[in-house]
Each structure stands twice: as C-alpha cells, then as structure tokens.
Amino acid sequence: MEVEIQVPDEVPVMTLPDLAFFPQALLPLRIFEPRYRQMLRDVLAGNRIFAVACLDPNAAAVDPQNEPPHRVACIGLVRACQKNEDGTSNLLLQGLCRVSIEEILGDEPYRRIRIRALASEPGAAPGENAKLRTELSRLIKMKLKLTPGGIEGMTELLKSVEDPEIFADIAAFNLCQNAAVKQRLLETLDVHRRLGLLLQVMRTEIETTMLNLKLQGGLPDDRISQN
C-alpha cells in the first residue's frame, strides 16, 4: 500500500534550462555540481524530496546570475540513486505535485524555496475529459508512428493510464517538444484546458511532421538536398 507523502513547506530546488517537470513523470538526473552534490546528500538523509523548476529565460536575460525560476514548478521524490566513483550520482526522480514558489529562502550552499502545493481542477465533467483523453491517445499514436526512433514503450505506458490528468501530464513531459509550451501546460491547473491545449500541440506537431515528410519526398535525411 502506498504511503501518503506530505508536501513540505520548504525544499531544495534545482533550476534547469528548458526543463519543465511534471507530476508522475520519471526524470533521470546526473548530479555533478558541488552544490547539488551537497543537496543530494541532505535530501537522501531526509525526506528524499526536492523541486525542479524551469529557468525563466526572459527573467534570466535581465538577471542571469540569479537563475530566476518560473514560479510554478514540481517537487519530486528520489526513487533510486547510484553514487559513482568520481563523486557524481545518477538518480531517478518521480514527480509528486505542482507547487508555487512563494519565496526563495537562500542560495547557500544550494537554493532552498518556500512552496505551496497546487491542486488541479477537472474543468469539465468526467466524461468530457475522458473523451479528450481518448482523442489525445489517438493523436499520440499517430505522432509516434510518424516519428522514427520515438520513445520506446510510450504507447503502451499511456495505454495503461486511465486518469485524464495523469495521462496529460505524462504525455506532456515525454512528448511535447517546446519547453515554453510545456511550462504553460504545467501552469494550467484546469485539466480540461490542459487536455485541450495538448491536443492543439499534438495536431500542430503532426501537421508539421507530415509537411516535412512530404517536402523530403521519401529521401533519407542526409539526401534531402537532392529534392
């Protein structure tokens, strides 16, 4: 039986460029910076929880030294960790829930933040969200068929996920290619809107892929110039 995990008021955070982390997603990380090595030691000695926030590129252009994060992030639980001989570590982080970054408490020896858990709202009747999930599943299958070397096992993984919210979050994390759009999806607490936005994203990416394939004319990537 799963043990209910209490969301702490304060957590360490990694602020990373072009990476929006989602609940239920699995994120492999290699920890090598001294500050994050210390963070990991402290986390493993405690509740094994820290946050991952996406770097805000607009704010970073003005104030790059302070690594400004987007204000909606996700906390995760270290599910597995392997320390390497060179002092680095490889770990697997599982997303727990969306959080709002209420305050940056300090940056030494690593950044700590005060957080508030964010709850999603259905936004529509269960049947409506289930319909969007079914349509999204269809589009994802199409996208993966059009994409050589797609994420192995993703179709089967998503097929096993009935909950529309969890389905949308796992799909967004693994399949959405645009970091800004992923952050927008992370910040969308209305599940119905989140599903609708992700449907739009999948349709656009499928249309773009089909157009590229048409222009490529059946030639392999290294011979496109011959068209």
Q: Residue 90: which CATH number?
A: 2.30.130.40
Predicted local distance difference test score (pLDDT) of residue 86:
93
Give the pTM.
Answer: 0.88
User: What is the CB neighbour count within 10 angstroms for residue 121?
Assistant: 11
Domain count, the chain: 2
Q: Is residue 103 part of a domain?
A: yes
In a shared domain, residues 112 and 14:
yes
Phi, psi of 156 (to 5 degrees): -70, -40
Q: Cα dist. 214→78, 138, 211, 219, 221 in Å? A: 44, 22, 5, 10, 13
Predicted local distance difference test score (pLDDT) of residue 110:
97
Predicted local distance difference test score (pLDDT) of residue 2:
46
Q: Is residue 222 part of a domain?
A: no
Domain extent for 147: 126-216
Low-confidence ranges of the chain (pLDDT < 70): 1-4, 148-152, 218-227
